[in-house]
């Protein structure tokens, strides 16, 4: 380890996006050139890595968060919320800038949402913003695929510190390939693999990305249908849990927090995926990215009684896809 100030020991570190969300609940989505009375509007904290870290803290982990904000009211809200959650937070402040903000339109009838967002380029986290001492003393690092150069620097440091690196990937931002090479566990949106490979079938694209980037595991979230993961030998299909969705905002963020939580606890992969699907589903039963983060007890009770979704893939399809993926891997090994 390099020199510098000693940092307190934590379980997990998060480096990435925070956001301030204005949740606008509507009876239904509006049509063009129309007027519609909204049901409610509320300002809530959110953001991919920030929300995942809040979930980890509520479940009992020691957490450190690193993020960038503007010097506006939204930035002050982020600082206040992290203090309230008991999270050790390190803020990079862009003076005279607006923090990341979003207006989220939620269809009251289904809970589905549309996100309208704005992010000033001045609040992009840059490699020079990071301090080496922040990326120490933990078992895992969670990054997202937005500010890829900064995330890659944090991931490189984390690997030097023998941490596992978990990546939350939803879009093909510039430089994401370099970050993928530094990621141990890639947990993506269902559309991300196709954006890199051109292959829409996850049973083909996940093994392809696994071979290219040498992950320990790659998984994709499937919305209400759960998640699909590939570890180089077999697929793990976890069906989703049926809930009465109020707001799907933040479901993926809580899934990633739950995934990191399970890794730090040393759980088997199948348990991690079931826990993550249940936590993400329950979060949809309340408003906002963090509004429905459930307790560990509630997740356990829910898993015992909840109805599961239909399977996204038939078992025989995944068995054949796994056979083909293993054969492709063996053909790439030099003789």
CB atoms within 10 A of CB 314: 10
Sheet holding 19-26, edge to edge: 40-46, 19-26, 101-107, 113-118
* Contact by Cβ (8 Å): 15, 143: yes
In sequence order, what are the residues at sequence separation of 6 or more whose Cβ sits closer than 8 angstroms to the Cβ of residue 29? 105, 107, 114
Alpha-carbon span 129 to 68, nearest angstrom: 9
Alpha-carbon span 32 to 272, nearest angstrom: 43
Q: What would the DSSP string read from start to end of 244-306? A: --S--TTHHHHHHHHHHHHHHHT--HHHHHHHHHHHHHHHTTSSSSSTTPPPHHHHHHHHHHP
Alpha-carbon span 69 to 267, nearest angstrom: 34
Which pair of tokens denotes residue 149? 């150069």
Distances (CA, A) of 64 to 39, 71, 87, 94: 36, 21, 6, 20
Show the domains of the chain with their CATH numbers. Answer: 12-28+37-330 (3.40.1190.20)
CB atoms within 10 A of CB 118: 11
pLDDT at 200: 97
Nearest to 165 by CA among 193, 145, 194, 191: 145
Which pair of tokens denotes residue 231? 């570890």
pLDDT at 98: 95
Q: Token pair 């609040």 is at which residue?
A: 123
Q: What would the DSSP string read from start to end of 16-72? A: S--EEEEEEEESSPPPTT-----SEEEEEEE-HHHHHHHHHHHTT--EEEEEEEESS
pLDDT at 274: 98
What crossing angle do the helices spanning 48-58 and 251-265 adopt, rounded to 10°?
50
pLDDT at 282: 97
pTM for this predicted structure? 0.93
Helix (H, G, I), strand (E, B) or coil at 92: strand
Start-to-end CA distance of the chain, whole Å, equals 38
pLDDT at 72: 95
Question: DSSP label at 195?
Answer: H
Nearest to 115 by CA among 34, 36, 194, 20: 20
pLDDT truncated to tens, each residue of the chain (335 aa)? 334 567 889 999 999 999 999 989 999 988 889 999 999 999 999 999 999 999 999 999 999 999 999 999 999 999 999 999 999 999 999 999 999 998 989 898 888 888 898 888 999 999 999 999 999 999 999 999 999 999 999 999 999 999 999 999 999 999 999 999 999 999 999 999 999 999 999 999 999 999 999 999 999 999 999 999 999 999 999 999 999 988 888 999 999 999 999 999 999 999 999 999 999 999 999 988 998 999 999 999 999 999 999 999 999 999 999 999 999 988 876 65
CB atoms within 10 A of CB 51: 29
pLDDT at 87: 98
């Amino acid at each position: 380890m390099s020199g510098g100030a000693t940092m307190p020991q934590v379980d997990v570190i998060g480096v990435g996006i925070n956001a301030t969300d204005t949740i606008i609940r509507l009876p239904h989505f509006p049509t063009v050139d129309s007027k519609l009375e909204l049901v409610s509007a509320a300002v809530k904290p959110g953001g991919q890595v920030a929300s995942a870290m809040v979930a980890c803290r509520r479940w009992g982990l020691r957490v450190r968060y690193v993020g960038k904000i503007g010097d506006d009211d939204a930035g002050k809200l982020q600082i206040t919320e992290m203090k309230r959650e008991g999270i050790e937070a390190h803020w990079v402040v862009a003076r005279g800038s607006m923090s990341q903000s979003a207006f989220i339109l939620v269809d009251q009838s289904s809970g589905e949402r549309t996100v309208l967002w704005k992010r000033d380029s001045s609040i992009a986290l840059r490699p020079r913003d990071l301090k080496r001492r922040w990326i120490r003393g933990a078992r895992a690092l969670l990054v997202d695929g937005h500010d890829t150069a900064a995330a890659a620097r944090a991931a490189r440091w984390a690997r030097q510190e023998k941490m596992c690196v978990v990546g939350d990937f939803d879009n093909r931002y510039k430089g994401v390939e370099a970050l993928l090479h530094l990621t141990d566990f890639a947990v993506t949106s269902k559309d991300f693999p196709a954006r890199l490979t051109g292959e829409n079938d996850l049973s083909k694209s996940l093994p392809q990305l696994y071979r290219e980037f040498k992950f320990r595991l790659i998984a994709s979230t499937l919305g209400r249908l759960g998640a699909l993961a590939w570890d180089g030998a077999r697929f793990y299909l976890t069906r989703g849990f049926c809930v009465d969705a109020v707001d799907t905002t933040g479901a993926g963020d809580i899934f990633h927090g739950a995934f990191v939580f399970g890794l730090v606890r040393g759980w088997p992969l199948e348990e991690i995926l079931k826990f993550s699907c249940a936590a993400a589903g329950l979060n949809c039963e309340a408003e906002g990215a963090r509004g429905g983060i459930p307790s560990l007890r509630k997740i356990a009770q829910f898993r015992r009684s909840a109805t599961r979704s239909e399977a996204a893939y038939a078992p025989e399809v995944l068995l054949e896809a796994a056979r083909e993926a293993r054969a492709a891997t063996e053909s790439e090994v030099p003789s």
